[in-house]
Structure 1
Amino acid sequence: MKHSEVKHRIIETASLLFYKNGYNLTGINEIISEAGIAKATLYNHFKSKEDICLAYLQFKNINFLQDLEDFASTKTKGKAQILAIFDFLNQFFMNKDFNGCWCIKTVAEIPKDNERIRTEIQSQKNEFIQLITSLITNNLAPLNKTQTESLARQIYLLYESAVGESHLHQADWPIKESKYLCSLILA
């Protein structure tokens, strides 16, 4: 098997385990066993569990941003493309494997001084805010930069709240209510 295929299998396996069980409850030996590889193979690709975690976060984020952008583009131009982020979240929630936000789950498990993982998560959240900013810019009447940035952060906070609360309550009402509040601030 090619080097890149093995690495990808390790990342996919770790991603499933970290998202399902959490970072701290997933051991290196479990990743090795589930991926069907030798310990040496894992360490040929990753120096540490932290490196695997960073690859996991990046893997999840790339797929998330692309899938969300693709989904929003299928909606009618205008506010519907912005509100689509909540429809996308609702589809994600309906997936039997929904377990909340992988970033928030991970940051809750790492020590406060773990700058590498914290910085990666902050970067991903900022990329998401930029995606929302782009949706606003492309779908609403022109706003100044300050207004656009503020609106993007407000929508981001509604989305993040919807993720956490839908996971907590195991219900989609937080997503629906967040979408409604978003529609009000877009009016």
Structure 2
Amino acid sequence: MGEAETAREQVVRAADELFYTRGVQAVGMDAVRTAAGVSLKRIYSLFSSKDELVVAVLRHRTQMWDAGIASASENATTARERLLAIFDFLDAWFRESDFHGCAFINTHGELSASSQAVADAVREQKRSFQEYVGRLVDEIGGTPDLAAQVAILAEGAQTTAAIAGTPDAARHARAAATTLLDAAVPAHV
């Protein structure tokens, strides 16, 4: 790994932690510099603006999300099990001591009105997740409407868990998803 990649990763990881725990607008580039151990000059040679850094952090979060979903479903043998594993992943995540809600939703709330690039990055992650759910629902013979409903359950669970401060939303959303799947898809699938 080259020096530029190492510095870039250090900055993204440091910014991610700061943005996630304190909010993007509350964190200045000096705080990122200190946390990353990388000079401001170097940071601005890697990222032309704070918005560009925020987008890089969101891409990093997308990779974390995708890896978490993949890990949670690695023992699943059917598409239905992979769908329900999403809620198991959420349950484990909600129980982490540093859970502060969905970074994409949080960042969208803070910056979408002022940054098209940030809004686009958030929308891309949400679209990608919805497509993943859609593929699994299609695989079990469900409809696009069912896929949207399951995705909304996962998204709503994230917001509810963050606001309520408890992981219960994942369990409730999993139960609702199970009910939806049982009602919409024949048992033999």
Specify if TM > 0.5. Answer: yes
Gaps of 5+ in 2: 183-189
**Aligned partners of 1:121 and 1:60: how far apart in 2?**
10
Q: Could you tell me the percent identity over the aligned residues?
A: 23
Gaps of 5+ in 1: none
Matched, 1:37 2:32: no
Please say if residues 112 and 119 of structure 2, whose CA atoms lie closer than 8 Å, have aligned partners that are also in contact: no
Q: Give the CA RMSD over aligned residues.
A: 1.4
**Aligned partners of 1:177 and 1:13: how far apart in 2?**
33
Moved more, 102-111 or 13-22: 102-111
Greater than 4 Å deviation, 4+ residue runs: none
SS at match of 1:85: helix
Query: Displacement of 1:111 after TM fit?
Result: 5.0
**Aligned partners of 2:30 and 2:79: how far apart in 1?**
49
Query: Displacement of 1:116 after TM fit?
Result: 1.1
Size of the aligned set, in residue pairs, is: 181
Query: For residues 113 and 35 of structure 1, do their structure 2 counterparts lie closer, same or farther at Cα, with a shift above 3 Å needed?
Result: closer
Match of 2:146 in 1: 151
Query: For residues 78 and 54 of structure 1, do their structure 2 counterparts lie closer, same or farther at Cα, with a shift above 3 Å needed?
Result: closer
Match of 1:179 in 2: 174
SS at match of 1:99: coil
Query: For residues 39 and 99 of structure 1, do their structure 2 counterparts lie closer, same or farther at Cα, with a shift above 3 Å needed?
Result: same
**Aligned partners of 2:113 and 2:179: how far apart in 1?**
36
**Aligned partners of 2:121 and 2:76: how far apart in 1?**
30
- Which amino acid in 2 is paired with 1:165? T
Query: TM-score, length-normalised on structure 1?
Result: 0.91
Please say if residues 58 and 122 of structure 2, whose CA atoms lie closer than 8 Å, have aligned partners that are also in contact: yes
